[in-house]
C-alpha cells in the first residue's frame, strides 16, 4: 500500500467541463460517434472558466 506522502506533490483535477467548438455544436454525426449528448452544447471558454471558479469557491 502506498503512503500518503507519495501523493503530496501530485495534482488531481477536481472538476472539468467539455468544450464544444461552436462550429461543431450541430454536428449530429460527430456527437453520435463520440457519445456527446445534445444536453452539452457550445459555451464560450470564459464562461466555462467562470463556472469552474464559482464551483470552487
Cell 460527430 belongs to 30
Angstrom distance (rounded) from CA 55 to CA 21: 23
**pTM of the model as a whole:** 0.61
Cα distances (angstroms) measured from residue 42 to each of 3, 11, 20, 23, 46: 42, 28, 5, 9, 12
Query: What's the pLDDT tens digit per position in 19-57?
Result: 999 999 999 999 999 999 989 999 999 999 999 899 888
Q: Which residue would you say has higher pLDDT here, 57 or 8?
A: 57
Amino acid at each position: 500500500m502506498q503512503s500518503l506522502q507519495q501523493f503530496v506533490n501530485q495534482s488531481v483535477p477536481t472538476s472539468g467541463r467539455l468544450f464544444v467548438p461552436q462550429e461543431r455544436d450541430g454536428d449530429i454525426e460527430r456527437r453520435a460517434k463520440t457519445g456527446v449528448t445534445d444536453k452539452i452544447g457550445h459555451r464560450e471558454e470564459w464562461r466555462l472558466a467562470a463556472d469552474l471558479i464559482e464551483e470552487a469557491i
